[in-house]
Amino acid sequence: MNYQWAYVSYAFIFLLIWGLLFSVRRDIHRGMLLSSALIFPLGLLSEIWFLRDYWHRHTITGYPISIEDAIFAFALGGITFSIYKTLFGYRIRKSQTRPRRTWLMFVFGGLLLGCLLFLTNLSGVNSIFSSSLAFVTFAVLVWTLRPDLVKPSLATGFLSAALFLAVYQIMEAIFPGVLLSWCKACNPSNVRFLDVNIEELIWDFSWGLVGGTLYEAVTGREFYLTRPAEQRQRHGLSSNGAQAEGSQTAFAQFMSVSHRHVLTIRIVTEIRERLRSLTKSEISLHVVFVFISTSIVIVNILARPFGFSCSGEAELWLVYYVPLNYFLLWFPHIAWRDLVKASVRIDEVLPAGGEKPSLIFWINRRLQLRIQIWLATLGAVAAWGALEFARSFISERVEICSASHASVAVTAALGINAVYWLWNVPLLIARLHSFPRLSVTWHAPFRTPAIRDLSRLLGKSAILAAIGVVLFEIPLLYLLLFSPTTYVVRSINVAAFIASFGTLFFVTVFPQYWLSSIARKEKTAILDELSREIEDIRMHATTSPHFLTTLQTKMNIYRDIELTGGTIIDKQTIMNYVLAAITALLPYLVQWLASFTK
């Protein structure tokens, strides 16, 4: 098999993980970039030794040290810095009692190069052991100076080894036999775990001991967990779960505690509590997302020695469903968080009459777990049947196994729940549109905060919906490109196009029209009231200055309101819609290019 593109694929997998961590944790961007910049030159330099006695891999440039090494070293530095902080919700801050130790950087570089020069060059010790010894020695030095870094260092070591193990499984699925082809005296112990030599896993663990705490040891920073009260405040919630900033009103209070009735959020919360009680430590939501998303892949890997696992392209599709499921778990949390924030503004526009209880009753009916469970079950069964139907078209390329059925069923169950709530956001706006009157900003109805916030929420939902459309379309695109082009396949593709873009259209265009209609209706009602007041003043007006001043004031107010803007969509929302449209069209552009090149 040709492994020309294997190493660059390997490097870009790590870069993709780096990008994911970078996007999730904006508060540690500086440390992540500095860690990547520090490891970047050392990673390139160490390849001089690794290429002599450990491994040999093909590069796209043909040179021994190439762009792939730069990408891998850069990504690895940032990943080991951020993975523990991201998964377990830790933050870092400048310590008042722990000094800055810049000299540790020189010790680290000198220790690594010294071990490679003296142990490898002079004594003939394999470079993988020399570098691992340097990492462990430096880690022990840091632990001596900073005992508080022992736990994050060890945790990052295990996480680093687990991450490398997972990436190697992906590489073996894409490029079978690639690890053995790279090996050059890389496995002197002849011990392998899941087709990965034990020396590699030792190096991965040893490097994690250093990479997870090097930045903190050098800069004098410390780890800390955000307290629950601070987390609620950061998300705009008070200690009792209601929205902060004077939101003690019926609708806002109801929305702030209603997340427990959203099926996906409920499942994630329950698993998080179980993991928290088992580990006796704070668990980040992203840890739970990763745990659920990767569970089927992990079980499939563990079942490999017993001959019950998927292999080849089927295993690759299991890996594809990991980011898809992660997104489907993340989406309800993002959408519901923003909707809870917007509920304070919605409360402000609801009149004091029966609209608030009516709206709460309407949402409460949609929050019934029974309905969501039935929909998830229906989606799982339908996906299982669709996979069985597709078996006849793709059986020559992909082996359908038990893990395939389980993965597709879980994805469908999560997906239908996400679509259920994606549709209910515009339906909520349609409900508001049905009310006779709302309390808008009287002098500028189109600038009412609730209307503007909901418009921005729709813009963000459009981006999320477009990402979902792309992830949903990729398997169907695969079916179209790599199966016989029959009437059934074309019909499935057309139906998927109508369903996906129909959903995207429904969550973007219609609700924006309803919001604009609300503002326009209220503006007309306010102008009608002013017109009646002006006419009444005219009917009873005298030549006194007081009546003339009042009349002139009312007429000026009328003109000012009449001239207020007639749009609720800001530039950022327009940009979100443009990006959503481009993103959603990408699979069809690929499909068109593929058909054009045939």
Going from N- to C-terminal start, the domains of the chain cover 6-225, 230-520+567-597
Whether the per-residue pLDDT at 230 is higher than 50: the answer is no
Residue pLDDT, tens place only, 205-217: 999 999 999 999 9
Q: Return the pLDDT at 596.
A: 57
Q: Return the pLDDT at 233.
A: 44
Q: Helices 67-88 and 150-174, interaxial angle, to 10°?
A: 130
Share of the chain above pLDDT 90, in %: 8
Q: Return the pLDDT at 385.
A: 79
> Could you tell me where the DSSP H helices lie in 258-354?
263-279, 285-302, 313-349
Q: Return the pLDDT at 209.
A: 92
Whether the per-residue pLDDT at 594 is higher than 70: the answer is no
Q: Return the pLDDT at 239.
A: 37
Report DSSP state, residue 424.
H
Side chain identity at 412, as an amino acid letter? A
The helix or strand, by DSSP H or E, that contains position 225, with its residue range, turns out to be strand 221-225
Whether the per-residue pLDDT at 157 is higher than 50: the answer is yes
- pTM: predicted TM-score of the whole model, two decimal places: 0.62
Q: Return the pLDDT at 513.
A: 87
SS3 track for 293-314: HHHHHHHHHHCHHHCCCCCCHH
More confident call, 24 vs 593 = 24
Whether the per-residue pLDDT at 247 is higher than 50: the answer is no
Backbone dihedral angles phi then psi of residue 431, each to the nearest 5 degrees:
-65, -45
Share of the chain above pLDDT 70, in %: 86
Q: How would residue 19 be classed by pLDDT, with cut points 50, 70 and 90?
A: confident
C-alpha to C-alpha distances, 553 to 447, 534, 556, 559, nearest whole angstrom: 22, 10, 5, 10
- Contact predicate 248/254, CB 8 Å: no
Whether the per-residue pLDDT at 237 is higher than 50: the answer is no
For 234-271, b/e burial (b = at least 16 CB within 10 A) is: eeebbeeebbeeebebebbbbbbebbeebbbbebbbeb
